């Protein structure tokens, strides 16, 4: 394959890291000589490498900027779905996903389905392991909706459930005790908005971060509501949350049913909701797996290893 000179740096990646990723994902050997690549291996796999290079080069020719991460994501997408149209995936799924200072592009097929489900439905459940982008993408959609004035506020909620540590032993008053449990929501928020802007919105109450217990007795109109770590809600909390939704509002519920920290014998509200409202029209469920993990490549292997080691762990207690 002959590679356009101005595309080489992107396709190769830093220290040829993208090249090594393509070799590992497609099971081929790639040798380079100037702007020419020689791909040795199974003809079908070599054809997929050629298709990847051709489609990504075409996008760059049109002026679209691609990152090293985009090249790796494209390879992962082609491995998962040999018929995927990379141009359609990156451009169509990313064109309306400007969340504050971040441009959000779905990196897997399930992430694309998740973003589309949030667009089309008022209640969406995103269920799967850590690192699949469930909370981050929901936050991106929420910020996008707020900045576009589709909603007037964002409400971020989490159950304050101990995962090995006890709340009572943490220093400070109640708000200071629960803040560590809400920290991941703040982190995602600050990643998308300038800190000063995020702080102003928090001070005004335009963005609210709170334990789920604070939702009781409220009706949430004209809001984008995210319930994170929903596997740690009780049945009562989940029912309470789902019935808070008011006019002009959306709710996204995220959780991992293999990571339930409730006391033994308590039923997870998320597990129960999957059975109770799973067929209710207007509610969408998107399930993620280890192929959707977009953190360090070892995280994907770790998730898969734990699933293989203890399949009964996913039953949820």
Measured distance CA(174)–CA(241) in Å, rounded? 21
Q: Could you report the per-residue pLDDT of 252-297, keeping only the tens digit for each?
A: 999 999 888 888 888 999 999 999 999 999 999 999 988 788 766 6
- For the whole model, what pTM was predicted? 0.71
pLDDT for 308 equals: 80
- Spell 220-254 as b/e; 16+ CB within 10 A means b: beebbbbbbbbbbbbbebbebbbebbeeebbbbbb
Strands (E), the chain: 29-33, 36-40, 98-99, 102-103, 123-127, 153-158, 207-211, 223-227, 250-255, 283-287
Cβ–Cβ under 8 Å, residues 28 and 79:
no
Cβ neighbors of 35 (< 8 A, separation 6 or more) are 2, 3, 4, 5, 8
Task: Compute how many other C-beta atoms are within 10 angstroms of the C-beta atom of residue 103.
Answer: 13
Q: Could you report the per-residue pLDDT of 212-235, keeping only the tens digit for each?
A: 888 888 888 999 999 999 999 999
Question: What's the pLDDT band for 194 if we cut at 50, 70, 90?
Answer: confident
Measured distance CA(100)–CA(46) in Å, rounded? 39
Selected residue with higher pLDDT from 112 and 237: 237
Least confident of 174-183, 187-196, 266-275: 174-183
Measured distance CA(217)–CA(238) in Å, rounded? 13
């Amino acid at each position: 394959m002959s590679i356009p000179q101005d595309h080489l740096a992107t396709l190769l990646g830093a220290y040829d890291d993208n090249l090594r990723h393509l070799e590992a994902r497609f099971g081929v050997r790639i040798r380079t000589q100037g702007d020419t690549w020689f791909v040795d291996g199974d003809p079908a796999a070599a054809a997929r490498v050629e298709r990847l290079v051709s489609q990504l080069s075409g996008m760059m020719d049109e002026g679209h900027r691609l990152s090293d991460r985009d090249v790796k994501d494209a390879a992962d997408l082609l491995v998962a779905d040999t018929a995927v149209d990379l141009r359609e995936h990156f451009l169509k799924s990313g064109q309306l996903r400007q969340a504050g200072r971040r441009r959000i592009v779905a990196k897997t097929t399930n992430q694309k389905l998740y973003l589309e489900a949030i667009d089309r439905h008022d209640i969406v459940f995103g269920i799967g392991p850590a690192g699949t982008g469930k909370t981050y993408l929901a936050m991106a959609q929420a910020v996008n909706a707020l900045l576009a004035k589709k909603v007037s506020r964002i409400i971020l909620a989490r159950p304050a459930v101990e995962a090995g540590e006890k709340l009572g032993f943490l220093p400070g008053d109640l708000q200071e005790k629960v803040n560590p449990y809400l920290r991941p929501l703040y982190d995602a928020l600050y990643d998308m908005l300038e800190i000063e802007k995020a702080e102003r919105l928090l001070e005004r109450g335009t963005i609210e971060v709170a334990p789920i217990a604070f939702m009781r007795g409220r009706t949430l109109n004209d809001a984008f509501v995210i319930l994170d770590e929903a596997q740690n809600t009780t049945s009562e909390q989940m029912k309470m949350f789902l019935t808070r939704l008011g006019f002009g509002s959306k709710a996204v519920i995220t959780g991992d049913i293999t990571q339930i920290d409730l006391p033994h014998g308590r039923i997870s509200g998320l597990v129960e909701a999957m059975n109770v409202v799973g067929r209710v029209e207007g509610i969408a469920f998107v399930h993620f797996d280890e192929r959707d993990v977009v953190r360090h490549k070892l995280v994907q292997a770790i998730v898969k290893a734990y699933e293989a080691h203890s399949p009964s762990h996913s039953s949820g207690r």
